[in-house]
Chain A
Amino acid sequence: AQSVTQPDIHITVSEGASLELRCNYSYGATPYLFWYVQSPGQGLQLLLKYFSGDTLVQGIKGFEAEFKRSQSSFNLRKPSVHWSDAAEYFCAVGRYGQNFVFGPGTRLSVLP
């Protein structure tokens, strides 16, 4: 069965530090991959997505993610974290004609 794992439940980084959030998926073909952010009290917002082409994708708010087929991973990165980045981050897999499967989420805390 298709699945998405996010090994880190909670990550804390200092403002200005770099960030990497991990995402691994299990799927029989190249999936469509997404990262969403959920800020406190707000809805989910798409950060970026990948479905073909360049394996390094750029998103909003300075985020990027790299698709690595050999590792079945789609890790999210940001070179310098801002306090406003504190939120819950969800990795998701989309499959044609089927529902989207979301990972359990990683909560990011940012220290001043």
Chain B
Amino acid sequence: GAGVSQSPSNKVTEKGKDVELRCDPISGHTALYWYRQRLGQGLEFLIYFQGNSAPDKSGLPSDRFSAERTGESVSTLTIQRTQQEDSAVYLCASSLDGVPGNTIYFGEGSWLTVV
């Protein structure tokens, strides 16, 4: 597609439920990133995929968070047993490869509200 696509754009879930957030990167982009942005705060790194390399999961805040990527395409971020502190915008981004000189393009984000 023309840009990074994320779904759902908005999700309200009850505390304790599991949620899945989806990211479709720009076609041909091998690098994919997930960030979390709490209201009024900066971007918090979660996980980074680069091609077939082992993902960098160093930013995942707890074992309730996991992410997968199918080849060099779609990625799914899963949050199990959601808590209210998980409420945030989850941003996905992609770039052509892991070379930082290449621009990373962000999706519009998935707004998650845990009630």
Contacts and interface: CB of A to CB of B under 8 A. Distances in A.
B82 to A, nearest CB: 23
Contacts of A42: 108
A96 B98 contact: yes
Interface residues of A, number: 23
A13 to B, nearest CB: 20
Contacts of A105: 41-43
B106 interface: yes
Given A99-B45, A100-B45, A43 B107 contact: yes
Given A43-B106, A43-B108, A96-B99, 8 more contacts: A32-B100, A46-B103, A90-B42, A98-B48, A98-B98, A99-B56, A100-B104, A104-B41
Interface of A: 31-32, 36, 42-46, 49, 51, 90, 94-105
